[in-house]
């Protein structure tokens, strides 16, 4: 007998809630929207299965999880209950990876990323992008910075990123992150209005 009852169709529910790459961290101070921490986590999915013994809720069918400005989308998500909160494990594919998006606090900037798997801890507000991971920073509608690697950890509490390259792929294997390296593009932050130009800039 299947212990997991199936609830359908689309559902909405509210749930109560490493070495640093110093150059990227200094150029990209990543603070999450503070108001998000006080809001409930909600989800929308095509199907929900609940396992009371394992304290797991399995969502499938175009899943979207929101918490304030945070939006997590995936083909499937497991919500795992912990003693202090929940952990969302989102999975996708190379053709349709799981995606994450959240506005930064106090500025017109947004962090977004994608990977085959994304783990989001609702208590520590740590997001782990795994396998073909990519993370981008938008300033308004302009793409400012982007990084890629096998694993990227976005730690809201520490305002920090950790980027891991992973093991190189076997010869002949096709993989965007198969080199075992991490890659990134970081653009200079705009100078404050009225700031003087660097010496020699007008020569």
The answer to whether residue 49 is domain-embedded is yes
The answer to whether residue 198 is domain-embedded is no
At residue 159, the pLDDT reads: 66
The answer to whether residue 60 is domain-embedded is yes
The pLDDT of residue 6 is above 60: no
CATH code for the domain of 134: 2.60.450.10
The model's pLDDT over 39-68, given as tens digits with 9 standing for 90+, comes to 888 999 999 999 988 899 999 999 999 998
Q: Using DSSP bridges, classify how beta strands 126-139 and 98-103 pair: parallel, antiparallel or unpaired.
A: unpaired
| Residues paired with residue 162 on neighbouring β-strands, in sequence order | 153
The model's pLDDT over 69-86, given as tens digits with 9 standing for 90+, comes to 999 999 999 999 888 888
At a CB cut-off of 8 Å and minimum separation 6, what does 124 contact? 155, 156, 157
At residue 174, the pLDDT reads: 45
**Whether 115 contacts 93, CB under 8 Å:** no
CA atoms within 13 A on the CB side of 50: 6
The model's pLDDT over 99-149, given as tens digits with 9 standing for 90+, comes to 999 988 778 889 999 999 999 998 888 999 999 999 999 989 999 889 999
The answer to whether residue 139 is domain-embedded is yes
Rounded-to-integer distance, Cα 18 and Cα 44, Å:
34
The answer to whether residue 201 is domain-embedded is no
Count CB neighbours of 55 within 10 A: 13
Rounded-to-integer distance, Cα 166 and Cα 153, Å:
13
The pLDDT of residue 198 is above 70: no
* pTM of structure: 0.71
At residue 37, the pLDDT reads: 73
**Whether 110 contacts 131, CB under 8 Å:** no
The least confident of 11-15, 18-22, 65-69, 86-90 is 18-22
The answer to whether residue 194 is domain-embedded is no
Domain count, the chain: 1
- Closest Cα to residue 44, out of 86, 15, 69? 15
Q: Which domain holds residue 120?
A: 10-17+19-185
The pLDDT of residue 171 is above 50: yes
At residue 36, the pLDDT reads: 74
Rounded-to-integer distance, Cα 91 and Cα 27, Å:
30
Q: The tokens of 115 are what?
A: 């990977």
High-pLDDT (> 70) share of the chain, %: 65
Give the three-class secondary structure for 37.
helix
């Amino acid at each position: 007998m299947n212990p997991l009852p199936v609830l359908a169709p689309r559902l909405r529910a509210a749930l109560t809630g490493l070495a640093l790459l110093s150059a990227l961290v200094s150029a990209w101070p990543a603070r999450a929207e503070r108001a998000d921490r006080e809001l409930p986590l909600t989800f929308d999915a095509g199907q929900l299965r609940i396992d009371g013994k394992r304290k797991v809720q399995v969502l499938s069918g175009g899943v979207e999880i929101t918490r304030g400005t945070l939006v997590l989308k995936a083909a499937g998500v497991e919500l795992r209950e912990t003693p202090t909160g929940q952990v969302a494990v989102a999975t996708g594919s190379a053709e349709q990876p799981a995606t994450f998006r959240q506005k930064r606090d106090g500025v017109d900037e947004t962090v977004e990323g994608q990977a085959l798997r994304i783990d989001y801890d609702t208590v520590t507000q740590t997001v782990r992008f795994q396998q073909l991971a990519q993370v981008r920073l938008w300033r308004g509608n302009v793409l400012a910075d982007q990084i890629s690697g096998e694993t990227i950890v976005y730690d809201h509490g520490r305002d920090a990123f950790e980027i891991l390259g992973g093991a190189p792929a076997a010869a002949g294997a096709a993989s965007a992150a198969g080199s075992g390296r991490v890659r990134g593009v970081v653009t200079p932050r705009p100078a404050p209005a009225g700031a003087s130009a660097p010496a020699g800039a007008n020569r």
